């Protein structure tokens, strides 16, 4: 027995030394690490399996390397088809290295579905609206960013090869993980004539020398070799076709804007996604999650497109300012004015071709990694705060960030410098910021980031058009003639058709139809003043009225109807849903 017990103990000790087996993704999802692409797929399947009555899992299309782009639609079919309800669209990970959007999308799905039937707000939302979620647009990019060696800024492109150095070869000289640690860090070389010296406060960092000072280091760029033997290093990396410059509205060729591709929708996955979204004509609002900088951006994407109609700007302002409250530190901004000009981006495409409202969220704030106490931070809104807030770094110096790395995540964000014998440069050192740093928050910060951004989406989702059709009066006028008054009211911020879409007649307006087997619609029109009976009667086909229900507003009509019996009123709107009501004239 002693021998048996010893054998069992030995087996248990041996088993404890084996690597843990990969756990299956289960619902509810966990958000203490970023999901790999395979885990994103697995999470979507798990959500679909857990909530089969409320979800539809689809493959939108495939990427350049054949990976599926997956979408999960949330809709309660018991309350009507998805296309008969207002819709909201969310995507993430447009750029391969901007992975937080995928996790925000998964959190949004997990939160909404997990709270259906428990939280009245989420139950009402799912019953009244359709949610279309594409967690990862650039599936190849996410796969390679998570799997391969990268820097925080690499692997953004679609996997469309480009001859960057014009030598007739394609993507032949990318960065190389010389030390095999899974990161593309920085190379430096001792050089008394170099433009840098070690930072006297922290010798791991470097600062530029002042005039007259002796140099110490030359920076050689990212880890890499001269793979094609042309005397240059890392000059032709993967891609580069930018997936957010390749959309089919206001596209510009590469000589106007780098990375736009040979023609719009040259990205096969983007083209498939565009076709899929165009078929979801009920999409009234859209979000796309990128990183970084802590921004909620609206269009226009360039000044030449002109400002949006003031009524649309009012909608954006209302929702954007609320977003700033939901995600403290984020700034609601205008793309071209407050950031930079872009052509052929997804936001302008969905705004201008589908008539939806759109935000691009640049998630994560560098300020969250500033190693400062309260007394060291400038007062919010003060001139000093505005002065130190850079566009992306938000005033966070490398000195502050490396202290954050040392003391909050125990050195995981920064790799110490180590010597390396380079075949071209000789003795160099490799070190610096690792792949999962700078643009990406540490794992302990993920839950707060995904929750707050998802809540901003939900606030806008709860302001999709919510139209109610009421018959406010049925009055007999004598001689078999009746006066019928209707009201279409919308207590939410979004109108049933954007004013930009109205301005260019992008698609037909909402329709209110009145019909009855034993009735004739003698007159019908917009009720201007119910107290003085002022009506703008429509000249032709009075039984059909074209309209738009404004946000936080109403539209009233008056009909003169001759006859008896049942009258049916039907309202149909691309973004406002479908309604019907029957009354009786007697």
| pLDDT for residue 4 | 42
Contact 524, 539 (CB under 8 A): no
| pLDDT for residue 5 | 44
Pairing of strands 481-490, 553-563: antiparallel
Look-up: residue for tokens 């966070």?
A: 396
| pLDDT for residue 396 | 86
| pLDDT for residue 382 | 61
| pLDDT for residue 96 | 97
Does the pTM of the predicted model rise above 0.75?
A: yes
Q: In the numeric block, which tokens belong to residue 48?
A: 């679909």
- Which residue ranges make up each domain of the chain? 37-145+242-364+444-461, 165-237+404-438, 468-585
Show the low-confidence residues of the chain (pLDDT under 50).
1-22, 388, 390-393
Helix or strand holding residue 408 (H, E): helix 398-408
Contact 226, 233 (CB under 8 A): yes
Q: Using the 8-state DSSP alphabet, how is residue 336 labeled?
A: I
pLDDT digits over 480-529, tens only? 999 999 999 999 999 999 999 999 999 999 999 999 999 999 999 999 99
Write down the CATH number for the domain with range 37-145+242-364+444-461: 3.40.630.10
Q: Using the 8-state DSSP alphabet, how is residue 339 labeled?
A: I
| pLDDT for residue 394 | 53
| pLDDT for residue 512 | 98
Contact 365, 377 (CB under 8 A): no
| pLDDT for residue 24 | 85
The strand pairing partners of 468, in sequence order, are 489
Contact 266, 272 (CB under 8 A): no
- The beta-carbon contacts of 390-394 under 8 Å, at least 24 apart in sequence, are 391/293, 391/339, 392/292, 392/293, 392/366, 393/366, 394/293, 394/294, 394/365, 394/366, 394/367
CATH architecture of residue range(s) 468-585: Sandwich (2.60)
| pLDDT for residue 453 | 98
| pLDDT for residue 385 | 58
* DSSP-derived 3-state class of residue 113: helix
| pLDDT for residue 6 | 46
For residue 297, which of 232, 226, 351 has the smallest C-alpha distance? Answer: 351
Contact 130, 200 (CB under 8 A): no
Q: In the numeric block, which tokens belong to residue 35?
A: 């999901």
Look-up: residue for tokens 């000044």?
A: 303
């Amino acid at each position: 027995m002693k021998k048996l017990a010893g054998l069992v103990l030995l087996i248990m000790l041996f088993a404890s030394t084996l690597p843990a087996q990969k756990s299956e993704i289960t619902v509810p999802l966990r958000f203490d690490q970023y999901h790999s692409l395979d885990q994103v797929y697995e999470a979507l399947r798990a959500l679909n399996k857990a909530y089969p009555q409320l979800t539809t899992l689809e493959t939108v299309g495939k990427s350049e390397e054949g990976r599926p782009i997956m979408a999960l639609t949330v809709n309660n079919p018991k309350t009507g088809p998805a296309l008969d309800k207002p819709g909201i669209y969310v995507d993430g990970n447009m750029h391969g290295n901007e992975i937080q959007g995928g996790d925000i999308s998964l959190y949004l799905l997990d939160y909404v579905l997990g709270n259906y039937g428990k939280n009245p707000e989420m139950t009402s939302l799912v019953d009244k609206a359709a949610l279309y979620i594409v967690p990862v647009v650039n599936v190849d990019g996410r796969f390679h960013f998570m799997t391969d060696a990268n820097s925080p800024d690499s692997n953004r492109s679609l996997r469309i090869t480009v001859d960057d150095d014009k030598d007739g070869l394609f993507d032949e000289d990318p960065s190389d993980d010389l030390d095999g640690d899974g990161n593309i860090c920085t190379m430096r070389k001792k050089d008394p004539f170099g433009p840098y010296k070690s930072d006297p406060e922290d010798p791991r960092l470097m600062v530029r020398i002042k005039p007259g000072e002796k140099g110490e280091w030359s920076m050689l760029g990212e880890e890499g070799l001269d793979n094609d033997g042309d005397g240059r290093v890392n000059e032709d990396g993967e891609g580069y076709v930018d997936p957010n410059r390749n959309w089919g509205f206001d596209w510009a060729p590469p000589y106007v804007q780098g990375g736009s591709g040979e023609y719009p929708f040259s990205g096969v996955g983007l083209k498939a996604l565009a076709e899929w979204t165009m078929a979801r004509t009920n999409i009234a609002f859209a979000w796309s999650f990128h990183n970084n900088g802590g921004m909620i951006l609206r269009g226009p994407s360039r000044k030449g497109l002109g400002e949006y109609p003031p009524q649309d700007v009012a909608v954006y302002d209302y929702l954007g300012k609320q977003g700033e409250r939901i995600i403290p530190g984020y700034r609601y901004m205008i793309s071209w004015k407050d950031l930079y000009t872009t052509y052929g981006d997804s936001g302008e495409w969905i705004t201008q071709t589908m008539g939806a409202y759109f935000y691009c969220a640049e998630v994560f704030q560098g300020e969250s990694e500033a190693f400062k106490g309260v007394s060291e931070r400038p007062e919010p809104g003060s001139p000093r705060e505005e002065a130190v807030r850079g566009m992306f770094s938000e005033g966070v110096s490398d000195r502050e960030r490396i202290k954050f790395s040392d003391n909050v995540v125990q050195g995981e964000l920064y790799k110490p410098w180590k010597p390396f014998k380079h075949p071209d440069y000789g003795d160099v050192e490799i070190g610096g910021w690792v792949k999962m740093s700078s643009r990406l928050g540490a794992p302990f910060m993920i839950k707060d980031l995904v929750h707050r951004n998802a809540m901003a989406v939900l606030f806008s989702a709860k302001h999709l058009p919510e139209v109610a059709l009421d018959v406010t009066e049925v009055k007999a006028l004598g001689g078999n003639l009746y006066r019928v008054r209707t009201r279409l009211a919308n207590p939410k911020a979004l109108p049933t058709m954007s004013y930009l879409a109205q301005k260019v007649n992008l698609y037909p307006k909402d329709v209110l139809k009145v019909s009855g087997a034993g009735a004739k619609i003698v007159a019908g029109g917009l009720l201007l003043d119910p107290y003085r009976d002022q009506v703008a009667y429509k000249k032709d086909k009075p039984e059909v009225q074209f309209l738009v229900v404004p946000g936080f507003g109403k539209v009233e009509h008056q009909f003169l109807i001759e006859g008896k019996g049942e009258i049916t009123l039907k309202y149909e709107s691309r973004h406002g849903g479908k309604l019907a009501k029957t009354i009786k004239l007697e």
